[in-house]
Structure 1
Amino acid sequence: MARFDSLPAPVRRWMAKAALPWSPASCRRLWTRARRAGASVDEALVVLDQAERRALERETERRAA
């Protein structure tokens, strides 16, 4: 729980409504990479949304196979 609590507030809010059970480490990695690349908070949240969309697409493809 300490890892979750140490995340920036926008990431914690994003994780609370995420469709998949993301780990704090995965979210921190995506967030940090986006922010270091110059993304704003909103842009970094879009990166998390895109990662989740890709993961959901992979899951759908696995179920269809």
Structure 2
Amino acid sequence: MAGDRPGPRARRGSGGARPGDLGATRLPRRRREEDPMRAFDALPAPLRRWLAEAARPWSSASCRRIWRRAMARGESVEAALARLTRAERRALMRDAMAPGAPPEIRSPVASTLRARA
């Protein structure tokens, strides 16, 4: 009977997000006002490629902000991508050093930083 089963939200856990959807991160999650797929599709191709291989979940808005700032300063595409990689490295380090961060976060952070260096 339908009344015996928990509703969809109850099965997924608090907040409606399934565990693991965003990877192991202790950084705060925020609700977005825009359609994430439409926002992603509107990004420049090099930025979309960078995002597809990013080590952490990024919002299109935060990547677009970093990209536009770099472009406004007259930086090349390569310099803008390097700026994004540095921002990602800082976020990974903050995540790994957060109080109570589990050891499984620290190990992937170290390997990701070595791979992107």
- What's the TM-score, normalizing by structure 1? 0.94
Aligned pairs, number = 64
- Give a deviation string over 1:4-31, Cα, whole Å, max 9, x none: 0000000000000000010000000000
Amino acid at match of 2:80: A
Q: Aligned to 1:15, which of 24, 48, 51?
A: 51
Q: Aligned to 2:85, which of 42, 45, 49?
A: 49
Distance in 1 (alpha carbons) for counterparts of 2:92 and 2:74 = 26
Distance in 1 (alpha carbons) for counterparts of 2:85 and 2:71 = 15
Query: % of aligned pairs identical?
Result: 58
Determine which structure has more spread, i.e. the larger CA radius of gyration.
Answer: 2
Aligned to 2:74: 38
Amino acid at match of 1:26: S
Distance in 1 (alpha carbons) for counterparts of 2:59 and 2:95 = 17
Structure scoring higher RCO (CA < 8 A, sep ≥ 6) equals 1
Runs of 4+ displaced beyond 2 Å: none
Aligned to 1:59: 95
Secondary structure at 1:19's aligned position in 2?
coil
Q: Which structure shows the higher helix fraction?
A: 1
Quote the offset at 1:38 in angstroms.
1.2
Amino acid at match of 1:4: F
What is the root-mean-square deviation in Å for CA atoms of aligned residues? 1.0
